[in-house]
Structure 1
Amino acid sequence: MKQEKIVSIEDRIPKLKQARKKKANRRLIIYLSIFFLLIAIIVYMQSPLSHIKVINVEGIEHVDEQEILKRSELNTETNIWTVTKKSIEQRIEKHPVVSNVEIRKKLPSTIEINVTEFERVGYVFQDNGYYLLLENGNMLSEPQQPTGDAPLLLQFTDESYLQRMTEELKNLPKSILNLISEIYWNPAEEDENKILLYMNDGIMVDSSIRDFSEKMKIYPSIAAQIEPGSKGILHIGVGAYFEKFE
């Protein structure tokens, strides 16, 4: 019969002590690592390393960049981890020209402010200058040089009719809006909503502010049937017909 080898408890104790010591050392290393990591994070959070270094403002055309930065309240002393995107977006969106704002953090030290402005629908002639009219009904306070990207609105001396015209232009397809050169408010006794348009293709249009965005949708198809170079006025109301000049 084979005799089993018996290991005494005295022989086991050193090995147990060594295993426990290794386990304790591993725990100590883990705890120290976590401790120093927390210290490093705290130091980083309190140091200039966590400050914003670059602020990029994108999408602006009619708003001054400094105005956006002022409303954001961000600067190179701001800790990037304290930036609350929602509150900044809300502050900037109070600007009358701004439709939407999106804030993005790009670590380690960059903030991107992406601005969407309200669409322009026309240039209103007032006080010997042209003022950009936006789809929300607001006009820029400083006169602008028209660039041909929106029609000129002339003789709109009544604010209420200008607002109605703005609403119609906002709902007009962009492709048709780009065809209009000038819009004159041309009220008559029987209809104060009457307007006269000069199109970029040389055709004049007699129409009305009322339901203008719906009525003008037929313009491209009718204009295509008019002989090129013909001088006349296209009446678009309940129906549509072209009156040729003699």
Structure 2
Amino acid sequence: MAGDGRGATRQSTQRRRPAARRTTGATVRSRRGRRPLTARQRTGSGLSRRKALRRRWVALLSVITVIALAYLIFFTSLMGVRTVDVLGASSVPADQIRAAAQVPDQQPMMLVDTDGIADRVRALPGVASVDVSRSWPSTVEITVTERTPIGFFSGAGGIHLVDSTGLDYKTVQNKPEKLPELALTRVAQDDVVTKSVVAVLGTLPQSLKDQITQVRAQTAGGVEFTLANGKIVRWGNADEPEQKLKVLAVLLTRDGRIYDVAAPELPTVS
């Protein structure tokens, strides 16, 4: 009987051992917190670290490249000015425009002060407007619009050319062809009579302007001009140019010397 008791006790102990092992395994896992990584997991983790490191190096090299390019563009003559092209100039010499522009040779293109260049060129008397641009890799282009004379007057130093703004911008020695003489007391941009005269001339067709030899005015509303055939046209101010032109075309078919269209609804010929 005693032997049977010991055998029963041994069997009971053997049955409980697996439970003890399970308890031990759970205890080990709870102490370690997680199971050891497998070989595949360790390999994947290593690849991720290498990829992250590679991305950091690529980013660093990209930053260095950008800095190097910026340095080359902004602080070296590698992308510097080699040529200054002048476009649109005829009466104003291109060399005079380049001299006024003062573009530093081999200055980095990105540091070229286009506004400053434009201001200096615009100060030339014969230049009405100017546009300055970069033409990569090494050319600065200066495009000018020159002043166009609409009349002249005789004064100190010779023949003074006047543009459509009333500016006396150039002096020459010979009278220009097909330009009217401005027989005014004063010619200036701020003079009301000058403003009226240039406004009237600006409304006339070229075919009529080519016939005008002289323009006179004592007041802003008293503009008149003499044609090449000696006839005088009293135009008045710059208002109603289309109507005045129509009336004048009819009046010039009649005999007379003075054709008054200052009031186009009441024209006269005398």
Provide the C-alpha distance between the structure 1 equivalents of 2:70 and 2:120, rounded to a whole number of angstroms. 30
In the alignment, what sits opposite 1:204?
Answer: 231
Residues 48, 92 of structure 1: alpha-carbon distance in 2 compared, 3 angstrom cutoff: same
Q: Give the AA of the match of 1:104.
A: S
2:250 equivalent to 1:225 = yes
User: Partner amino acid for 1:207?
Assistant: R
- C-alpha distance in 2 between matches for 1:112 and 1:122: 31
Secondary structure, in 3 states, of the residue corresponding to 2:250?
coil
Q: TM-score, normalised by structure 2?
A: 0.67
Tell me, yes or no, if structure 1 residue 57 matches structure 2 residue 82: no
1:183 aligns with: 214
**Correspondence list, 1:98-109, <5 A:** 98-109=127-138
Structure 1 residues 140 and 167: alpha-carbon distance in aligned structure 2, compared to 1, 3 A threshold: same
The answer to whether the Cα contact below 8 Å between 2:85 and 2:140 also exists between their aligned partners in 1 is yes
- The amino acid that maps onto 1:105 is R
Q: 1:44 to 1:94 in 2, by over 3 A?
A: closer
Q: Distance in 1 between matches of 2:154 and 2:114?
A: 38
Q: 1:146 aligns with which of 162, 176, 199?
A: 176
Structure holding more helix per residue: 2
- Which structure's CA Rg is the greater one? 2
* Counterpart pick for 2:149 among 120, 144, 153: 120
Indicate the RMSD between aligned Cα atoms, in angstroms: 3.6
Distance 2:108 2:55 in 1: 35
Q: Number of aligned pairs?
A: 228
Partner residue, 1:159: 186
CA distance in 1, matches of 2:145, 2:45: 69
In 1, distance between residues paired with 2:116 and 2:267?
51
Q: Partners of 1:84 and 1:132 in 2: how far apart?
A: 32
Structure 2: 5+ residue stretches without partners: 1-34
**SS of residue matched to 2:92:** coil
Q: Percent identity?
A: 16
Secondary structure of the corresponding residue to residue 251 of structure 2: coil
Unaligned runs of 5+ in 1: 1-6
Within 2, Cα distance between the matches of 1:21 and 1:215? 83
How far the C-alpha of 1:24 sits from its partner, in A, is 0.7
Alignment of 1:241 with 2:241, yes or no, is: no
Shift in Å, 1:194 = 6.4
